Amino acid sequence: MQKVLVVDDEEPILELLKYNLEKGGYDVKTAENGMKAVEIAKKFTPDLVLLDIMMPKMDGVETCRQIREIPEMQKSFVVFLTARSEEYSEVAAFDVGADDYITKPIKPRALMSRISALFRRDSKKEAPQSLITIGDLIIDRTSYTIKLKNREINLPKKEFELLFFLAQNPNKVFSREDLLHNIWGTDVYVLARTVDVHIRKVREKIGDDYIATVKGVGYKFNLA
Amino acid sequence: MQKVLVVDDEEPILELLKYNLEKGGYDVKTAENGMKAVEIAKKFTPDLVLLDIMMPKMDGVETCRQIREIPEMQKSFVVFLTARSEEYSEVAAFDVGADDYITKPIKPRALMSRISALFRRDSKKEAPQSLITIGDLIIDRTSYTIKLKNREINLPKKEFELLFFLAQNPNKVFSREDLLHNIWGTDVYVLARTVDVHIRKVREKIGDDYIATVKGVGYKFNLA
DNA sequence: CCGCTTTATTAAGGAATTGTTAAGATCGAT
DNA sequence: ATCGATCTTAACAATTCCTTAATAAAGCGG
């Protein structure tokens, strides 16, 4: 779950942003001024800071500069919020390491779209192996399909993810909790037995030879 | 080392771009107007020209045309810089040989990533495929028409682009967000579900066999 | 071989995603 | 400006998928 810190001296703006971001699945914290923002940034280490450029006392540019000095915040994004009219130096903003800026009034949809674009671009760099070939089984993440003896099989998302994950670490045993944690995510609470059902469905489609049960421990992908 | 020429009538923008590009390892020269740009281009023969489309005297489009007449500049890239609002004809820009365009305000990180993407696919020589034939489906980008079993079908723009894009990467699954970004553009904000409607209309015209749904992920073009 | 624990299997309800339709908004051409 | 085509949105239907719970089967130690 991505963490976002919103900094603005106007309460209604803070709430509007917080509401929309949380609805979009982000972990949100807020600050009403630059100093508090820097404090929170140190502990919270957000992946993104939304920063009003016009604030009393310490303005956005200065706040950004200080945030950029925090070692853990080097790789985070900073996006400025600015009123349409004010030509508050774009250059100065980008000079201190801003990644984008959004003009007020804020349209929630545009905001969300641009934020997710930011994170998407970031995550695209990590191109984990997307094609696994083991014997006569080919698992292709780009097409979300598997081929078994040249026969193409379509798997639902969870089943695919499960098979893909196991196949990435052949012969290694994972407990049900491990699998839930890695595939379902850390903040989803599903019974461990649910994994059994998915395992069975995968076996139904690719046969019983690929996934082995290790009783009392979990499951593993069998490397011939 | 790649050479870049930046052309803009605003001094601060020039500096911002020069600063970022040099930090990114490019050899940068600048020009404040179209005429100087053409002069410098002749001697410097940059691999990329970043060209503001709105400039006094000679605008970007005309400057581009003149740059394109320089024999040594045939294989170089030209990228236009344009304000978000101004509806300055995309068509005119591409007509004179632009390779891409970037909307202001300029986001350094995004800019750098798009430029490196340009250079990466140095496929400048290989003409972009404009005719795709898959089975009894022929997609022709030059005429914006498709032929299905020798029957010609006219598709509206969005539907055509959607089909064309999917067909370019057969079997690869794209999320709705991916499709929006690649077809609609980076600064158009429409709901992701809009894609569904277009998908349906395309299916209505070419049948259900070509485009497959990958539930929880997106859509893909089915290669038999 | 028995009892206990763990896993396999199945079916059903509910949750989430996509399909479909129609109405409103927007764009383009006459 | 008006008309038709296209695009976008919203609402509802249909479908798939996920999860749960209940029961059967299998493994394991005595």
Strand D contact with B151 (CB < 7 A): no
B12/chain A closest Cα distance in angstroms: 7
Strand D closer than 7 Å to the CB of B121?
A: no
Which residue stretches of chain A are H helix?
11-23, 34-44, 60-68, 90-95, 108-125, 157-168, 176-179, 193-206
Tell me if the pTM is above 0.95. no
Q: How far apart are CA B4 and CA B9, in angstroms?
A: 16
Q: In angstroms, what separates the C-alpha of A215 from chain B's closest C-alpha?
A: 32
The nucleotide whose C1' lies nearest the CA of A157 is D17
Asked if residue A21 lies in contact with residue A6, where contact means CB atoms within 8 angstroms, the answer is yes
Cβ of residue B16 closer than 8 Å to a chain A Cβ: yes
| B211 phi/psi in degrees, rounded to 5 | -110, 125
Q: Is the pLDDT of residue A8 over 90?
A: yes
Q: Which residue lies nearest D6, CA-to-C1' measured? A: B156
Confidence of residue A203 (pLDDT cuts 50, 70, 90): very high
Phi, psi of B22 (to 5 degrees): -65, -35
Q: In 10 A of CB B19, how many CB atoms?
A: 15
In the predicted model, is pLDDT for residue A112 greater than 90? Answer: no
DSSP for A5-39 reads EEE-S-HHHHHHHHHHHHHTT-EEEEESSHHHHHH
Nearest nucleotide (C1') to alpha carbon of A213: C7
**Contact B17/B6 with Cβ under 8 angstroms?**
yes
pLDDT of A86 reads 58
Task: Determine whether the interchain pair A144/B106 forms a contact, defined as Cβ–Cβ distance below 8 Å.
Answer: no
Strand extents, DSSP E, B84-134: 100-104, 131-134
The rounded percent of chain B whose pLDDT value lies above 70 is 88
Residues near A7 by beta carbon (within 8 Å), at least 6 away in sequence: A30, A31, A32, A33, A34, A36, A37, A49, A50, A51, A52, A55, A60, A63
Q: Which residue has the higher pLDDT, B97 or A13?
A: A13
Are A65 and A93 in contact by the 8 Å Cβ rule? The answer is no
> What is the per-residue pLDDT across B16-56, written as a single tens digit (0 to 9) for each?
889 889 988 899 999 999 999 999 999 999 999 998 887 87
Can you tell me which residue has the tokens 């900094």?
Answer: A7
Cis peptide before B71 (omega within 30 of 0): no
A144 closest CB neighbour out of B173, B187, B191: B173
Is the CB of B120 inside 8 Å of chain A's CB atoms?
no
Going by pLDDT thresholds of 50, 70 and 90, the confidence category of residue A4 is very high
In which band, very low, low, confident or very high, does the pLDDT at A93 lie, cut at 50, 70 and 90? low
Backbone angles phi and psi of B124, in degrees to 5: -55, -30
pLDDT digits (tens, 9 = 90+) for A151-169: 888 888 999 999 999 999 8
The chain-wide mean pLDDT, for chain A, equals 86
Determine the average pLDDT of the residues in A199-219: 92
pLDDT at B14 over 90: no
CA B198 → C1' D2, Å? 27
User: How many Å does it take to go from CA B159 to C1' C22?
Assistant: 19
> Given pLDDT bands bounded at 50, 70 and 90, which one contains residue B125?
very low
**pLDDT tens digit string along B51-87?**
888 787 788 888 888 998 888 888 888 888 876 545 5
CB-CB under 8 Å, A99 with B108 = yes
Q: Which helix (H) or strand (E) holds B116?
A: helix B108-120
Give me the CA B182–C1' C18 separation in Å, rounded.
21
List residues bridging with B51 in a β-sheet: B7, B80
How far separated are the first and last CA of chain A, in Å rounded?
Answer: 37
Instruction: Determine how many CB atoms are found less than 10 A away from the CB of residue B12.
Output: 12
Say whether pLDDT at A84 is over 70. no
Contact yes or no for B98/B64 (Cβ under 8 A): yes
What is the average pLDDT score of chain B? 84
Helix axes A34-44, A60-68, angle to 10 degrees: 30
Please state, as a whole number, how many other Cβ atoms lie within 10 Å of the Cβ of residue A24.
Answer: 15
- The pairs formed by B124-130 with CB atoms below 8 angstroms and a separation of 24 or more are B124/B75, B124/B77, B124/B99, B125/B75, B129/B168
The separation, in Å, between residue A176 CA and nucleotide C16 C1' comes to 23
Question: What CA–CA distance (Å, rounded) separates A152 from A148?
Answer: 6
Residues 178-217 of B with CB within 7 A of strand D: 184, 188-191, 193-194, 197-198, 215-216
Could you give the count of Cα atoms lying within 13 Å of A152 in the half-sphere of its Cβ?
9
Model confidence pLDDT, tens digit, residues A22-55: 888 889 999 999 999 999 999 999 999 999 988 8
Q: Which two tokens stand for residue A175?
A: 């407990």
Q: How confident is the model at residue B90 (pLDDT cuts 50, 70, 90)?
A: low
A40 token code pair: 């929170």
- Answer for the pair B68, B95: CB distance below 8 angstroms, yes or no: no
The predicted model gives A214-222 an average pLDDT of: 91
